[in-house]
């Protein structure tokens, strides 16, 4: 008992420092808004967020094959929304980017486009995206983990932003799906339907850990990143589409 006051004198400053560090990480560092200089190239698709690429999959007739499940998944099972005016997705690509709590959590427009729709879908219960070991691999070890077709990607709260623009001089439809993690508080949105956005413009801010799925409804897209790569929103080119004149040479 006589040693208790001395022990407290040692532990209290440590606890205070640890509490200050947690406060800084959760209330200041997490909400940081770094300056990003977006590449000015109309043939480049820019990353919509910070994070690690966890999958790149082909979309065929509006569906994606899930090898682990032995079945295909419809695009609408992930977007939880039909394309505005009834346009059906055809062939293209899906890229998923996992955002850890250490990443900047602003989401950005990946190309010059107009917002043709914003659809929010709630959930009775958000499932955790990853288990403890997957979290350690993705957040601290920066190792690739295949998260495609896990239950959270199909069931958790999400917001889908539909964009219609051009990439490489050709029309491109994009669906940006912001998927919430178990402890997400809210998604703050800074754009509205009908608004024109430029590459790198802030679209939203999503709390805590989360994920962005990007559907690209075009087949002639060349990816510049691979699974396991770290990307940065409004900064990293993730795909390109050469202009028509370049493709015809």
Q: Mean pLDDT for the chain?
A: 86
**pLDDT greater than 90 at residue 210:** no
Q: Which residues pair with 6 in a beta bridge?
A: none
* Mean predicted confidence (pLDDT) in 194-219: 92
Lowest mean pLDDT among 15-29, 109-123, 163-177: 15-29
- Does residue 23 or residue 160 have the better pLDDT? 160
Q: What is the pLDDT of residues 30-78, one digit of tens each?
A: 788 999 999 999 999 999 999 999 999 999 998 998 866 667 899 999 9
**pLDDT greater than 90 at residue 238:** yes
pLDDT on residue 217? 93
Res. 242 pLDDT band, cuts 50 70 90: confident
Lowest mean pLDDT among 45-59, 101-115, 159-173, 180-194: 180-194
pLDDT on residue 140? 81
Res. 27 pLDDT band, cuts 50 70 90: low
Res. 209 pLDDT band, cuts 50 70 90: low
């Amino acid at each position: 008992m006589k040693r208790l006051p001395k022990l407290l004198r040692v532990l209290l400053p440590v606890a205070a420092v640890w509490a200050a560090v947690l406060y800084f990480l959760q209330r200041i560092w997490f909400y940081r808004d770094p300056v990003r200089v977006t590449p000015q190239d109309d043939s480049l698709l820019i990353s919509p967020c910070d994070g690690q690429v966890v999958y790149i999959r082909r979309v065929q007739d509006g569906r994606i094959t899930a090898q682990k499940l032995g079945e295909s998944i419809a695009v609408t099972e992930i977007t939880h929304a039909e394309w505005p005016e009834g346009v059906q997705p055809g062939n293209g690509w899906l890229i998923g980017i996992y955002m850890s709590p250490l990443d900047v959590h602003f989401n950005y427009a990946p190309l010059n486009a107009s917002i043709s729709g914003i659809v929010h879908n709630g959930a009775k219960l958000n499932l955790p995206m990853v288990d403890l070991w997957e979290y350690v691999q993705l957040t601290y070890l920066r190792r690739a983990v295949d998260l495609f077709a896990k239950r959270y990607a199909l069931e958790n709260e999400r917001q889908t932003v539909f964009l219609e623009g051009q990439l490489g001089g050709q029309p491109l439809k994009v669906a940006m799906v912001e998927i919430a993690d178990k402890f997400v508080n809210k998604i703050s949105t800074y754009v509205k339907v009908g608004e024109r956005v430029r590459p790198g413009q802030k679209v939203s801010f999503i709390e805590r850990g989360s994920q962005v799925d990007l559907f690209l409804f075009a087949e002639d897209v060349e990816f510049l990143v691979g699974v396991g790569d770290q990307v940065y929103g409004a900064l990293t080119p993730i795909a390109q589409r050469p202009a028509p004149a370049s493709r015809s040479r």
